[in-house]
Amino acid sequence: MKIITSSTWTWVCFWTVAALLTGNAKAQTVAAPKAEKKYIAYKITRGDTVSVSVLGERDLTVGQKRIEPTGTISLPLIQDIRLYGLTINEAQDAIANAYREGRFLRNPIITVTVETYAPRIVIVSGKVNSPGRQEIPPDVEVTIKDVISKANGFGDTARGTAVRLTRTMPDGTLRTQTLDVESALKGKASANSGDAAFVVEPDDIIYVPQKFI
């Protein structure tokens, strides 16, 4: 019979534990999930074509209504209602509230269906290598950093710390923001580096100015 000394037993335990730890590390490495795109609820935009049905009220049901440049559609009894920028659930609630507040229906059940999706376009101009129109997907967040990257990055004379984004708000007014995108692209530490994660929306206009010389 082979006798196992205490020192031999110590080495056996050491290598067993080491093998288990190594195996776990490899397993963790293999099992690491890949980064996934962040999906978001679709928001109705100008040019979409929608159908609106009211349960039990056939005369109030309409189909193939285009969202006007003002962001509204016209519905029986309540006339124009703004749906631009709303999710499907928010649009259904807005229409139901309009019928209730107008005392037309006590408890309407509304269904909104997007029949045709309008192109979702942002415009990039100024000192980028490939200016122009970009189409963004309807259900995935796209950041201003993504848009600049798709435009093949900043030009040599771009002032990437002062990118201007102009957005048409639901009430028709314009809002302009100045964003520092360059710091994030270059990996610099900056108080404004989070600006690069700003999520763009259809009809946004992005302008990259030139550096001061």
pLDDT digits (tens, 9 = 90+) for 146-177: 999 999 999 999 999 999 999 988 777 899 99
* Helix, strand, coil abundance in the chain, percent, nearest 5: 30, 30, 45
31 falls within a domain: no
Domain assignment of residue 127, given as a range? 121-208
3-state secondary structure of 12: helix
**66 CB burial (10 A radius; 0-12, 13-18, 19+):** middle
3-state secondary structure of 72: strand
35 falls within a domain: no
Domains contained in the chain, number: 2
8 falls within a domain: no
pTM exceeds 0.85 for this model? no
Pairing relationship of beta strands 49-54 and 110-116 according to DSSP bridges: antiparallel
pLDDT digits (tens, 9 = 90+) for 29-74: 344 444 455 667 888 988 999 999 999 999 999 999 999 988 899 9
Which CATH number belongs to the domain containing residue 64 in this structure? 3.30.1950.10
Q: 101 and 126, same structural domain?
A: no
Closest CA to 134 of 183, 197, 201: 201
